[in-house]
């Protein structure tokens, strides 16, 4: 095993052996840990690898990236060909990762990383190599991604691990869409602001057309209000923490001052907003905000973001497109072709042979106009913070301000 690094990166190699290299990394103001692993190839001795991982985990609480050839899989579908993997061996690997708080980072590219290079039914391919990381590492680098890279000589593919805390910048001509944040409702003036915007933007047109037109204008007002009132939550937390340190230093000899109490109260309020924000983005409905679950919500939001990020789309010719405009065009063309009718003939002849199962009475019941009560009940049965529609507004917004919308919808 060997470890190389570039100039400008501070690497401190810890004790190492033939099965692992362990190192501390300091770069770009961040401090974390990397371990390269080679798992014991003999099945009967593989427990030594899991014991080694648990030992490495016990050394400290640094954010940890652990990657390499573990010589084991987590699931049967990670092997193609050969005899089925031993269930107990897979369970032991999974238990070890859980004990070490390590999560599989997933991958892009070919499914398997090792190939015995034999022909026909003797060919076996397995995903033996993978990248894993702790929750704290993914909090520091939420968009870390693993790519399988083909090699010419080795029977293993290489792992390219891209460590990112922000998505790569892509030039785009599309403006950023509006997305409603649940944390805005924690601000005591939010309801009055929406009511005022709704009144000022009234067009006098009733029905859905008037509703959509008015909502577009109200969304612009909310977005502007958010920027002026909230700005960046993280930046505000950082500013208040610095201000609190200065206030505590000034009050060192006089005891806790009123200024310290005021700043602490402001921090408490903004941390509540932060928790609500990450809960909304994580889409975890079964946990409540205000239960000190901010770190959990952050990690779930980062996981969703990493999982949902589209880094490229394969073109019909086999090449990869990674530009926003190109991917948008490919998606548009695909679905346009998918839902474009190529024409048909003889359809009525087929329908004439089918037995009618829906009676006129049943059809009348199914096509009856929806009542106002049914519309309202349906709205309030929806998950408040589930994925919003194209307008960026979740069900929560419509539930909260139903009094404004009822006259347009009902």
The two structure tokens encoding residue 131:
């990248």
> Count of CB atoms within 10 A of residue 165's CB?
13
**pTM (whole model) above 0.75:** no
**Residue whose structure tokens are 């859905």:** 208
Judged by average pLDDT, the poorest of 69-73, 172-176, 326-330 is 172-176
Rounded to an integer, what distance in angstroms lies between the CA atom of residue 208 and that of residue 202? 13
pLDDT score for 222 = 85
Is 60 exceeded by the pLDDT of residue 289? no
Alpha carbon separation from 198 to 186, 360, 391, 407 (Å, rounded): 19, 44, 16, 13
Is 70 exceeded by the pLDDT of residue 305? no
Is 80 exceeded by the pLDDT of residue 275? no
Can you tell me the mean pLDDT for 357-372? 90
Contact 277, 233 (CB under 8 A): yes
Which position has the higher pLDDT, 180 or 183? 180
Is 60 exceeded by the pLDDT of residue 95? yes
How high does pLDDT run on average in the chain? 83
Can you tell me the mean pLDDT for 253-278? 72
Helix (H, G, I), strand (E, B) or coil at 30: strand
Reading across the β-sheet that carries 102-104, which strands appear in turn? Answer: 10-13, 20-27, 30-38, 64-69, 129-134, 102-104
pLDDT score for 139 = 86
pLDDT score for 290 = 44
pLDDT score for 243 = 82
pLDDT score for 72 = 96
- 140-168 pLDDT tens trace: 898 899 999 887 678 999 999 999 876 55
Which position has the higher pLDDT, 263 or 297? 263
Local confidence band at 380 (pLDDT 50, 70, 90 cut-offs): very high
pLDDT score for 255 = 58
Alpha carbon separation from 263 to 226, 236, 256, 257, 273 (Å, rounded): 21, 12, 11, 10, 15
Rounded to an integer, what distance in angstroms lies between the CA atom of residue 36 and that of residue 130? 11
Can you tell me the mean pLDDT for 239-245? 80
Is 70 exceeded by the pLDDT of residue 51? yes
Is 50 exceeded by the pLDDT of residue 291? no
Angle at 183 between CA 181 and CA 185, to 5 degrees: 100
Is 60 exceeded by the pLDDT of residue 28? yes
pLDDT score for 178 = 76
Q: What is the largest CA-CA distance in the chain?
A: 94
Helix (H, G, I), strand (E, B) or coil at 72: coil
Q: Which of 345, 389, 310, 368 is nearest to 145 (CA)?
A: 310
- 306-316 pLDDT tens trace: 667 777 888 88
Is 80 exceeded by the pLDDT of residue 108? yes
Q: Which of 129, 130, 127, 77 is nearest to 103 (CA)?
A: 130
The two structure tokens encoding residue 276:
């609500």
pLDDT score for 167 = 56
Rounded to an integer, what distance in angstroms lies between the CA atom of residue 86 and that of residue 140? 35
Rounded to an integer, what distance in angstroms lies between the CA atom of residue 17 and that of residue 396? 55
Which position has the higher pLDDT, 266 or 21? 21
pLDDT score for 295 = 55
Rg of the chain on CA atoms, in Å: 28
The two structure tokens encoding residue 66:
């652990």
């Amino acid at each position: 095993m060997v470890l190389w690094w570039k100039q400008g990166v501070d690497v401190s190699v810890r004790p190492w052996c033939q099965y692992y290299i362990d190192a501390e990394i300091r770069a770009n103001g961040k401090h974390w840990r990397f371990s390269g692993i080679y798992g014991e190839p003999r099945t009967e001795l593989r427990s030594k690898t899991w014991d080694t991982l648990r030992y490495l985990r016990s050394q400290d609480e640094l954010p940890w990236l652990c990657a390499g050839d573990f010589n084991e899989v987590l699931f049967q579908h990670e092997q193609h060909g050969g005899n089925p993997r031993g269930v107990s061996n897979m369970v032991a690997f999974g238990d070890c990762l859980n004990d070490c708080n390590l999560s599989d980072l997933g991958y892009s590219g070919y499914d398997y990383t090792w190939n015995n290079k034999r022909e026909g039914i003797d060919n076996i391919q397995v995903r033996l190599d993978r990248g894993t990381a702790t929750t704290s590492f993914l909090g520091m680098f939420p968009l870390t991604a693993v790519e399988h890279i083909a090699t010419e000589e080795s029977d293993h593919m290489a792992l390219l691990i891209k460590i990112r805390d922000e998505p790569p910048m892509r030039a785009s001509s599309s403006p950023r869409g509006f997305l409603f944040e649940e944390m805005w409702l924690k601000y005591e003036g939010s309801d009055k602001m929406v009511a005022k915007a709704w009144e000022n933007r009234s067009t006098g047109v009733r029905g859905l057309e008037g509703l959509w037109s008015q909502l577009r204008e109200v969304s612009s007002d909310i977005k502007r209000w958010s920027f002026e009132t909230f700005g960046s939550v993280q930046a505000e937390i950082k500013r208040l923490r610095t201000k609190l340190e200065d206030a505590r230093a000034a009050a060192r000899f006089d005891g806790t001052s009123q200024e310290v109490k005021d700043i602490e109260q402001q921090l408490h309020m903004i941390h509540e907003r932060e928790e609500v924000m990450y809960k909304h983005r994580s889409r975890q409905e079964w946990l409540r905000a205000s239960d000190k679950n901010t770190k959990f919500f952050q990690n779930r939001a980062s996981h969703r973001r990493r999982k949902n990020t589209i880094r490229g789309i394969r073109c019909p010719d086999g090449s990869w497109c990674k530009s926003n405009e190109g991917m948008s065009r490919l998606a548009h063309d695909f679905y346009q072709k998918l839902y474009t009718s190529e024409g048909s003939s003889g359809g009525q002849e087929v329908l004439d042979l089918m037995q009618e199962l829906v009676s006129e009475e049943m059809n009348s019941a199914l096509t009856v106009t929806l009542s106002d009560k049914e519309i309202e009940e349906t709205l309030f049965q929806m998950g408040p913070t589930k994925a919003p529609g194209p307008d960026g507004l979740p069900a929560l917004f419509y539930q909260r301000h139903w009094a404004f919308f009822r006259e347009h919808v009902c």
